């Protein structure tokens, strides 16, 4: 909560941690605590929970709030906490965001409502409602059209950023890199923009990005954090070297639907107790595992702290 008053400091690698489940399918709070500790020990600059990598749509509101509570307790204000609080339903989004505010989150990551495919005006009104309800909580728009079937356009982000002081940034998870530039151009450099596309994390920094909320931080948190730090220190060659070394792990994440491959690796490494993903996701197939093992062999050295 100590970073809430100045969200401009929420920068760097904000690790979007998976939500561990037991083999029977319950949320595994012990493994979640262990993951958060590992992220902090590895130098991640912040923690996110409940974005796409956290399987939020497969959890109840109560489960998501309980997981936020565990993460917030373990983080203990050492780094910024940016939980995902969005849902396809407005009442759930408001309930989750209220819980995040109460638990001391520094900002809330609110996904565009999925499946319904609202218009840009409807998206504006959706985010305006959340912003008015929580005027003292910084809000980050989460644009991930591959999962939601709707993209929030630069002009809509500009309207929201102009009209509401607590709408401070956007997580862009689109492979349209021109879109990144247009959002920053429309809003100005004060808008905080994080990349959720792994191979666009480093390129975004050249446009003035605030950092990354990248799933590959689940496997190589120290390397992802270091890539940001090297860029900020002016060692662009060193940052590029890490960017390319991370390629195999990025490919590993998406051999099958994220986060199933990442959870398989984390379970094999003993960082979580089970690789369980909730339906409709499934554990990696045998064919998928063959590819995952090969990619892990190619990039697995980065899963150790640098």
- Residues annotated as catalytic (active site), given as ranges: 142, 171
**Whether 243 contacts 195, CB under 8 Å:** no
Name the residue with tokens 């996904």.
111
CB atoms within 10 A of CB 190: 11
The pair of three-digit structure tokens given for residue 236, joined into one six-digit string: 């662009």
The C-alpha atoms of residue 249 and residue 269 are separated, in whole angstroms, by: 15
Please name the residues in contact with 13: beta carbons below 8 A apart, sequence gap of 6 or more. 44, 45, 46, 211, 212, 214, 217, 221, 224, 225, 227, 228
Structure tokens at 62: 């109560």
CB 16 within 8 A of CB 214: yes
Beta strands in the chain (DSSP E): 12-17, 46-49, 81-83, 108-111, 139-143, 167-172, 192-195, 211-212
């Amino acid at each position: 909560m100590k970073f809430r008053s100045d969200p401009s400091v929420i920068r760097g690698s904000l690790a979007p941690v998976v939500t561990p489940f037991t083999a029977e399918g319950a949320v595994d709070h012990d493994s979640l605590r262990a993951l958060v500790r590992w992220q902090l020990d590895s130098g991640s600059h912040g923690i996110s929970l409940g974005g796409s990598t956290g399987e939020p749509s497969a959890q109840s509101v109560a489960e998501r709030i309980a997981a936020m509570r565990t993460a917030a307790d373990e983080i203990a204000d050492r780094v910024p906490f940016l939980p995902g609080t969005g849902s396809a339903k407005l009442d759930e989004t408001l309930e989750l965001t209220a819980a995040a505010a109460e638990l001391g989150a520094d900002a809330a990551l609110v996904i565009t409502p999925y499946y319904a495919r609202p218009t840009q005006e409807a998206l504006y009104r959706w985010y305006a409602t959340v912003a008015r309800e929580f005027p003292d909580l910084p809000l980050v728009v989460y644009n991930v059209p591959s999962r939601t079937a709707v993209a929030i356009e630069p002009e809509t982000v500009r309207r929201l950023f102009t009209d509401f002081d607590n709408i401070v940034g956007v997580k862009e998870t689109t492979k349209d890199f021109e879109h990144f530039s247009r959002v920053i151009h429309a809003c100005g450099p004060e808008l905080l923009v994080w990349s959720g596309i792994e191979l666009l994390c480093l390129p975004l920094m050249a446009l003035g990005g605030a950092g990354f909320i990248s799933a590959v931080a689940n496997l190589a948190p120290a390397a992802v954090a270091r890539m940001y730090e090297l860029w900020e220190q002016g060692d662009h060659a060193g940052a590029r070297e890490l960017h390319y070394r991370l390629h195999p792990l990025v490919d590993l994440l998406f051999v099958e639907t994220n986060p199933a491959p990442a959870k398989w690796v984390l379970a094999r490494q003993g960082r979580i107790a089970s690789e369980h993903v909730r339906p409709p996701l499934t554990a990696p197939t045998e064919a998928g595992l063959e590819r995952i093992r090969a990619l892990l062999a190619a990039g697995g050295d980065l899963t150790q702290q640098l």
